[in-house]
Chain A
Amino acid sequence: MNDFAYAAPTSLAEATKLLQESSGSVKILSGGTDIIVQLREGAREADLVVDVKKLPELQELNFSATHGLRLGAAVPCAQVYDDTRIAAAYPALVDAAKIIGGWQIQSRASIGGNLCNSSPAADSIPALIAHHAYCEIVGPAGKRNVPVEQFCTGPGKNVLQKGELLVALVFPPDLSHCSSAYERFIPRNEMDIAVVGCGSRVQLNAACDTIEFARIGLGAVAATPKYAQEASEWLAGKPANEDSYTQAGELAKKVATPISDMRGTAEYRTHLVGVLVKRTLTTAVERAKSFKNP
């Protein structure tokens, strides 16, 4: 690994100052499960590594039934899924947190880092999109909010400017008759990269037979994770049944512009979009129904 200096600021002001004023290349370190590998392999270079785990705002995990969830950018996956209230309210997020690497990775890897690494195949991003989460970003010019689906701009690229860091992901409150699911397709059971990933969230009517509102997020189907807007909007008012899920899957395929690689051809990936949209909608609806009478 190339030589670098290390700093672990304890306030946001100190962190943004360090990030802004450093002359060489600066890299942020959260759980390190991407960045340490990239620095070691020479895929990235740093003169200064800024560890953001000591910033209190980035360690916040604040859930309230009325306000929703504030997930500090550096909170590790295992802490997210070990919290039973979060598991109940944000199942797609928890599905994703549980399949990012194995337990040792999950003890360190943060959802914020997964998003900032901005891999098109990152597991948490379609779930974040389905949950309608937004990013709270702080930089020299102050605070700004960006919806998750607008955060990534290309493979490994995102909207963060010099001096900026992701502080938290903010989720709207959970509602009754509402639930979600994330699934990815991989050729084996554990520790693999998604060939396609899909997160879906549904809001049902009181009778639980009609979808009032839905959001579908897709991963590994384009240069950035995608919000399947047309499919999501089409689902509003449709019966919660297999025909609707199939039709939504067809519409979701329209946002897929996948590449062919050794993990799957473009045609195969497009087919998988239909399969996974259907599966995650089915699971999300089942979960939403069972929440009616817990």
Chain B
Amino acid sequence: MAKKTVVTAEINGNSTEFLCEPRQSLLEVLRDTLHLTGSKEGCNNGNCGACTVLLNGKPVLSCLVLGVEVEGAKIETVESLAQNGQLAPVQQCFLEGAALQCGICTPGFLVATKALLEKYPQPSEHDIRFHLANNLCRCTGYDKIVKAVQTVAAQ
């Protein structure tokens, strides 16, 4: 077995050290080692977006990143959104706009939306659909998600 490596990264604002094997994905590390279970495993091959996290500010699929690759990087997961038990505006809008049903896709959508609004504070519907195209939802039909993003952008 390849040697486990010590990796140090800033995760949700905290400097974090973890041990992992080179073959472990960032998603496995987050969920199984660090118990940050907000990021979901939908497909484990890059198709569904449920495992989306921000890596140095960019939305990426944590199932397609190796844990060892994030040495020195800054990671933000869905757990970074709510502060002191208060939901972030984007979470509030998804909740009030009923932009979820089973909720498996929601953490990925929330993280991708956060990145989208940083890039385009006033996104057009095209911007929203383009940037969220890597996030699949089996339940909602997407319109409520798009509306929730528009609502939070309008605030």
List the interface of chain A (C-beta within 8 A of B). 1-6, 8, 29, 31-33, 36-37, 39-41, 49, 51, 53, 78, 101-105, 107-108, 189-191
**Once the chains are docked, how many angstroms separate the CA of A263 from the CA of B129?**
25
Given the known A-B contacts A32-B66, A37-B45, A78-B58, are A102 and B22 also in contact in the complex, defined by CB atoms under 8 Å?
no
Interface size class, chain B: 20 to 34
B60 at the A/B interface (Cβ < 8 Å)?
A: yes
Pairwise interchain contact A41-B45, C-beta atoms closer than 8 A = yes
Given the known A-B contacts A32-B65, A37-B64, are A2 and B134 also in contact in the complex, defined by CB atoms under 8 Å?
no
Given the known A-B contacts A104-B52, A107-B59, A108-B65, are A6 and B134 also in contact in the complex, defined by CB atoms under 8 Å?
no
Shortest distance from the beta carbon of A222 to any chain B beta carbon, whole Å: 26
**Once the chains are docked, how many angstroms separate the CA of A108 from the CA of B60?**
7
Residues of A within 8 A of B52 (CB): 104
Residues of A within 8 A of B132 (CB): 102-103
B135 at the A/B interface (Cβ < 8 Å)?
A: yes
B window 37-63: CB within 8 A of A:
44-47, 49, 52, 55, 58-61, 63
Residues of A within 8 A of B64 (CB): 31-33, 36-37, 105, 108
* Complex interface bits, B63-74 against A, C-beta within 8 A gives 1, otherwise 0: 111101100000
Pairwise interchain contact B2-A6, C-beta atoms closer than 8 A = yes
Shortest distance from the beta carbon of A97 to any chain B beta carbon, whole Å: 13
Pairwise interchain contact B2-A4, C-beta atoms closer than 8 A = yes
Residues of A within 8 A of B147 (CB): none
- Considering the complex, give the chain B residue whose CB is closest to the CB of A79: B58
Residues of B within 8 A of A107 (CB): 55, 58-60
Selected from B25, B131, B134, the residue in CB contact (under 8 A) with A191 is B134
Pairwise interchain contact B133-A103, C-beta atoms closer than 8 A = yes
**Once the chains are docked, how many angstroms separate the CA of A190 from the CA of B22?**
32
Shortest distance from the beta carbon of A146 to any chain B beta carbon, whole Å: 28
Pairwise interchain contact B22-A6, C-beta atoms closer than 8 A = yes
Given the known A-B contacts A40-B44, A102-B134, are A1 and B60 also in contact in the complex, defined by CB atoms under 8 Å?
no
B21 at the A/B interface (Cβ < 8 Å)?
A: yes
**Once the chains are docked, how many angstroms separate the CA of A104 from the CA of B114?**
13
Shortest distance from the beta carbon of A284 to any chain B beta carbon, whole Å: 22
Residues of A within 8 A of B112 (CB): 103-104
Residues of A within 8 A of B131 (CB): 102-103
Shortest distance from the beta carbon of A186 to any chain B beta carbon, whole Å: 12
Residues of B within 8 A of A191 (CB): 47, 133-134
Pairwise interchain contact B2-A190, C-beta atoms closer than 8 A = no
- Considering the complex, give the chain B residue whose CB is closest to the CB of A49: B22
* Complex interface bits, B130-155 against A, C-beta within 8 A gives 1, otherwise 0: 11111100000000000000000000
**Once the chains are docked, how many angstroms separate the CA of A233 from the CA of B66?**
46
| A and B contact pairs by CB, cutoff 8 A, 19 listed | A1-B23, A2-B23, A3-B22, A4-B22, A4-B23, A8-B69, A29-B69, A40-B45, A41-B45, A102-B131, A102-B132, A102-B135, A103-B131, A104-B112, A104-B134, A107-B58, A107-B59, A108-B65, A191-B133
Given the known A-B contacts A3-B1, A36-B66, are A190 and B58 also in contact in the complex, defined by CB atoms under 8 Å?
no
Shortest distance from the beta carbon of B9 to any chain A beta carbon, whole Å: 14
**Once the chains are docked, how many angstroms separate the CA of A51 from the CA of B70?**
12
Residues of B within 8 A of A36 (CB): 25, 63-66
Given the known A-B contacts A33-B46, A36-B25, are A104 and B66 also in contact in the complex, defined by CB atoms under 8 Å?
no
- Considering the complex, give the chain A residue whose CB is closest to the CB of B23: A1
Pairwise interchain contact A104-B49, C-beta atoms closer than 8 A = yes
**Once the chains are docked, how many angstroms separate the CA of A128 from the CA of B84?**
50
B33 at the A/B interface (Cβ < 8 Å)?
A: no
**Once the chains are docked, how many angstroms separate the CA of A108 from the CA of B25?**
15
**Once the chains are docked, how many angstroms separate the CA of A49 from the CA of B3?**
13
**Once the chains are docked, how many angstroms separate the CA of A4 from the CA of B68?**
12
